[in-house]
């Protein structure tokens, strides 16, 4: 059973895990640590965890579960810091957006430890200790990617923990997770970053015009493109293979659209737009988004 949880990294995800545990799992004790002293001070002020500690050793001393909530490029370093500090049988997990690289990094740094990576598919474009909130995981999926032969009791305990925080859980292989998330999350972020970058570099359309008329669709991309630069830099570098594979497919499909527009092939365009509209309807039917028009904005 998981009684003591240590959270390393007290930004949006770490803070939300702490707040959700306090709200939904009051019998669990939480400790937390962040590399940045100002983040530790803010986390203590906001009571993101039960105790904000000044050292890693103190943070993980009694932990049955350690959750690494740092950017995926910092996972190896964070795991390395735990060497020799963990209780016998403690589970080491994380919330990183890519999974194969995290699994490899944690195994390399903590051989012999129970390692069960996880990814709550929940977030916002905000980051830092002020951004966390207790309901972030409510009704959202958390994908666990235990390696082959992982301790079954530990998988069951981690599943129960995430369900306790309000999430729905799924088990997946790390490599498959990375392909799925490349197309549902990583490529959409790359497209948003690119289109917003392109618009800000235009010479014959001014930046003030782009901002003024953004309600035509552009502003929906800007929400995603405002996501944390360090976190997303790391996601693309750590999930390189899957992202490049999906980007290849996307580029081919984009070229087909370019051809359809150039040749006046309205049938191809309409057929795609009919299919994509159905995807939106399925997302709403499955409770993954609000049915209100224009994301429920006040008009
Ligand atoms: P965040 O708000 O920037 O928080 C990360 C915190 O970790 C920062 O305070 C950072 O401090 C700290 N940190 C970095 N290296 C550390 C280390 N070695 N030891 C201790 N603390 C360290 O980021 P986040 O949005 O919570 O993202 C955390 C993880 O969640 C990432 O792996 C991300 O892929 C994953 N995730 C994010 C979302 C999302 O929507 N944001 C959704 C699902 C999963 P400094 O800033 O001083 O480096």
Looking at the fold, whether 168 and 181 belong to one and the same domain comes out as no
Question: Range of 252's domain?
Answer: 176-296
Looking at the fold, whether 162 and 182 belong to one and the same domain comes out as no
DSSP state, residue 130: G
pLDDT of 280 reads 95
Check pocket membership of 28 for ligand 1, CB cut-off 6 A: no
Check pocket membership of 132 for ligand 1, CB cut-off 6 A: no
Looking at the fold, whether 156 and 31 belong to one and the same domain comes out as yes
Check pocket membership of 242 for ligand 1, CB cut-off 6 A: no
Looking at the fold, whether 143 and 196 belong to one and the same domain comes out as no
Looking at the fold, whether 131 and 225 belong to one and the same domain comes out as no
Instruction: Give Rg (Cα) of the chain.
Output: 21
Atom 39, ligand 1: which residue's CA is nearest?
A: 123
Looking at the fold, whether 208 and 281 belong to one and the same domain comes out as yes
Nearest CA-CA partner of 161 in 279, 10, 24: 24
Looking at the fold, whether 163 and 267 belong to one and the same domain comes out as no
Looking at the fold, whether 50 and 162 belong to one and the same domain comes out as yes
Task: Look at residue 142 and give its three-state secondary structure.
Answer: strand
CA–CA gap between residue 9 and residue 49 (Å, rounded): 11
**CATH number assigned to the domain comprising residue 246:** 1.10.3660.10
Q: Which of 7, 10, 53, 69 maximizes ligand 1 atoms within 8 Å of its Cβ, making it the mutation to test the pocket?
A: 69
CA–CA gap between residue 12 and residue 232 (Å, rounded): 14
Burial of 130 per CB tally in 10 Å (0-12, 13-18, 19+): middle
- CA 13 to centroid of ligand 1, rounded, Å: 7
Last residue of a domain, one of 129, 157, 173: 173
- CA 112 to centroid of ligand 1, rounded, Å: 25
Looking at the fold, whether 209 and 153 belong to one and the same domain comes out as no
CA–CA gap between residue 168 and residue 163 (Å, rounded): 6
User: What's the number of domains the chain is made of?
Assistant: 2
- CA 292 to centroid of ligand 1, rounded, Å: 31
Check pocket membership of 8 for ligand 1, CB cut-off 6 A: yes
Quick one: how far is CA 262 from the chain centroid? Answer: 38
* pLDDT tens, residue order, the chain (299 aa): 899 999 999 999 999 999 999 999 999 999 999 999 999 999 999 999 999 999 999 999 999 999 999 999 999 999 999 999 999 999 999 999 999 999 999 999 999 999 999 999 999 999 999 999 999 999 999 999 999 999 999 999 999 999 999 999 999 999 999 999 999 999 999 999 999 999 989 988 898 999 999 999 999 999 999 999 999 999 999 999 999 999 999 999 999 999 999 999 999 999 999 999 999 999 999 999 999 999 888 88
Looking at the fold, whether 166 and 196 belong to one and the same domain comes out as no
pLDDT of 1 reads 84
Looking at the fold, whether 238 and 290 belong to one and the same domain comes out as yes
Check pocket membership of 116 for ligand 1, CB cut-off 6 A: no
Check pocket membership of 36 for ligand 1, CB cut-off 6 A: yes
**CATH number assigned to the domain comprising residue 76:** 3.40.50.720
Specify the ligand 1 atom closest to the Cα of 97.
34
CA–CA gap between residue 21 and residue 17 (Å, rounded): 6
| Orientation of helix 218-225 relative to helix 187-201, angle to 10° | 110
Check pocket membership of 155 for ligand 1, CB cut-off 6 A: no
- CA 291 to centroid of ligand 1, rounded, Å: 31
Last residue of a domain, one of 139, 173, 207: 173
Nearest CA-CA partner of 159 in 91, 111, 63, 247: 91
Last residue of a domain, one of 129, 153, 173: 173
| Orientation of helix 240-262 relative to helix 266-285, angle to 10° | 140
Check pocket membership of 174 for ligand 1, CB cut-off 6 A: no
Q: Which of 7, 13, 225 maximizes ligand 1 atoms within 8 Å of its Cβ, making it the mutation to test the pocket?
A: 13
Check pocket membership of 43 for ligand 1, CB cut-off 6 A: no
Looking at the fold, whether 28 and 100 belong to one and the same domain comes out as yes
């Amino acid at each position: 059973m998981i009684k003591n949880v240590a959270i390393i990294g007290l930004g949006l995800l770490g803070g939300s895990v702490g707040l959700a545990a306090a709200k939904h799992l009051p019998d669990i004790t939480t400790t937390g640590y962040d590399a940045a002293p100002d983040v530790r001070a803010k986390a203590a002020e906001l009571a993101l965890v039960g105790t904000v500690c000044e050292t890693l050793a103190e943070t993980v001393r009694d932990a049955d579960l350690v959750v690494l909530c740092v950017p995926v490029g910092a996972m190896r370093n964070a795991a390395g810091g735990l060497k020799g500090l963990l209780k016998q049988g403690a589970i080491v997990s994380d919330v990183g957006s890519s999974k194969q690289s995290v699994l490899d990094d944690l195994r390399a740094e903590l051989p012999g430890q129970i390692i069960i990576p996880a990814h709550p598919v929940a977030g916002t474009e905000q980051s830092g200790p002020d951004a966390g909130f207790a309901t972030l995981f409510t009704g959202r999926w958390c994908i666990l990617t235990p390696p082959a032969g992982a301790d079954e009791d530990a998988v069951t305990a981690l599943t129960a923990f995430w369900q306790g925080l309000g999430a729905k859980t799924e088990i997946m292989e790390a490599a498959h997770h990375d392909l799925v998330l490349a197309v549902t999350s990583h490529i959409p972020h790359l497209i948003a970053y690119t289109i917003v970058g392109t618009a800000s570099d235009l010479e014959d359309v001014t930046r003030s015009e782009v901002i003024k008329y953004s309600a035509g669709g552009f502003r929906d991309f800007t929400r995603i493109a405002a996501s944390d630069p360090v976190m997303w830099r790391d996601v693309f570098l750590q999930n390189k293979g899957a992202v490049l594979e999906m980007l290849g497919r996307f580029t081919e499909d984009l070229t087909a659209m370019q051809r359809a527009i150039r040749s006046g092939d309205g049938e191809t365009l309409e057929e795609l737009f009919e299919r994509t509209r159905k995807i939106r309807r399925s997302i709403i039917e499955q409770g993954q988004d609000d049915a209100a028009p224009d994301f429920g904005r006040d008009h």
